[in-house]
Amino acid sequence: MNNQLIDEPASVFTEQIIKQVLQSWISQNRAVTSFFNKYSDDAYLNEVAPGRNRAIYLLGHLTATNDALLPLLGLGEKLFPELEAPFIINADDKAVGDIPSVTELKQCWEVINTTLTAHFSKMRAHDWLDRHTKVSAADFANEPLRNKLNVLLGRTNHQSYHLGQLNFLKEK
């Protein structure tokens, strides 16, 4: 942790900005949730566009990515480590075998997001500006932007990115 940052009192500005960044993450997170509550489960077995990933696969990918935030932000172990192999390591819908059902993935999605939101609500500005667990203290001293806030901003964009693709899905 950078001592200069610990010593700096969080201002009204700072807390409001953090709140807004968090709100941006939540808004994209909820948009994904709404998308997967829009149709019957069967609809999500379709590819979002011809030859592209199925919606169910993108749900698994987004769930596994959000789950990975727990260890990356130092908040604990993954809740669903079994999702990593099919949805992050492979990253190719056509290459994976059996995957959980839409219902099961939606449950995982809800649990991980509720867990993250509970952790995020307790984090203050200095927590967000601290290093994430994939960067060493030595590297962080040289690259102070490799912090938890940077991870959150990146994952917010990641949710938007796949949401744009999901919205190409046709129901039938």
Nearer to its own copies, 80 or 159 (CB): 159
Size of the site for its own copies (CB under 8 A): 43
Nearer to its own copies, 64 or 169 (CB): 169
Q: Judged by CB under 8 A, does residue 141 bind its own copies?
A: no
What residues contact residue 84 under an 8 Å CB cut-off, 6+ apart?
64, 67, 68, 78
Q: Judged by CB under 8 A, does residue 23 bind its own copies?
A: yes
Q: How far is the CB of 83 from its own copies (least distance, A)?
A: 20
Closest CA to 150 of 5, 21, 13: 21
3-state helix, strand, coil in the chain (%, to 5): 65, 0, 30
Q: How far is the CB of 161 from its own copies (least distance, A)?
A: 4
Sign of the torsion angle spanned by Cα atoms 107, 28, 131, 84: positive
Binder of its own copies out of 1, 45, 49, 91 (CB under 8 A): 49
Tell me, what amino acid is at 71?
P
Phi-psi sector, 2: left (phi>0), alpha (psi -120 to 50), beta? beta
Nearer to its own copies, 26 or 96 (CB): 26
Contact 54, 44 (CB under 8 A): yes
Footprint on residues 146-165 left by its own copies (CB under 8 A): 147, 149-150, 153-154, 156-158, 160-165
Q: How far is the CB of 43 from its own copies (least distance, A)?
A: 17
Binder of its own copies out of 3, 40, 50, 97 (CB under 8 A): 50
